[in-house]
């Protein structure tokens, strides 16, 4: 976990080799980074939390209240689900990554090395900018082009 304290001091916390991890953000700017396994992983990202799980490895990582959640898939067939907020969000992608963000809420969900990314829009103000990618990007809802 990477972040800054309320008084602006940077910090870094690394947790390795845990089967289950739950982290809660505090004041300041906080970023969680998750790395997938060699098995099939699933990431669920919302404005409230991010969760990376791997049933084959009996592994679950969760980050609550972080401004940014960044996730690197591993081996296996990895699938990400990105859920929007109640405000207008932006979904963009490049060849190997996708991100869902909202500047007003100061949140960002970023994923790379996934075979599928599903993005869900429930707000009429959501915007999308898609380019050809090395993964399957599936959208549901009312996305509007930039």
pLDDT value of residue 3: 46
The answer to whether residue 1 scores a pLDDT higher than 50 is: no
pLDDT digit string (tens) for 96-139?
999 999 999 999 999 999 999 999 999 889 999 999 999 999 99
Which of these, 75, 70, 81, lies nearest to 111 by C-alpha position?
70
pLDDT value of residue 10: 58
The answer to whether residue 2 scores a pLDDT higher than 70 is: no
Which of these, 38, 33, 43, 42, lies nearest to 74 by C-alpha position?
38
The SS3 assignment for 89 reads coil
CA of residue 74 relative to chain centroid, distance: 15
CA distance 76 to 68: 24
pLDDT digit string (tens) for 7-43?
555 555 666 666 788 888 888 788 999 999 999 999 9
For 102, half-sphere exposure in the C-beta direction (CA atoms, 13 angstrom radius) is 18
**5 vs 74, higher pLDDT:** 74
CA distance 112 to 135: 9
pTM for the full model?
0.89
pLDDT digit string (tens) for 54-79?
987 788 999 999 999 999 998 899 99
pLDDT value of residue 14: 64
Instruction: Indicate the domain borders of the chain.
Output: 2-145
pLDDT value of residue 12: 56
């Amino acid at each position: 976990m990477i972040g800054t304290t309320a008084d602006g001091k940077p910090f870094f916390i690394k947790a390795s080799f845990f089967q289950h991890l739950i982290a809660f953000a505090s004041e300041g700017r906080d970023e969680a980074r998750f790395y997938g396994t060699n098995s099939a992983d699933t990431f669920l990202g919302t404005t409230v939390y991010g969760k990376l799980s791997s049933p084959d490895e009996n592994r679950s990582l969760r980050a609550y209240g972080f401004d940014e959640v960044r996730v690197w898939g591993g081996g296996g067939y990895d699938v990400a689900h990105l859920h929007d907020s109640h405000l207008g969000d932006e979904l963009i992608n490049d060849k190997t990554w996708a991100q869902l963000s909202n500047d007003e809420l100061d949140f960002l969900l970023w994923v790379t090395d996934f075979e599928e990314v599903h993005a869900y829009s429930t707000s009429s103000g959501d915007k999308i900018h898609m380019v050809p990618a090395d993964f399957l990007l599936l959208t549901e809802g009312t996305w509007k082009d930039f």
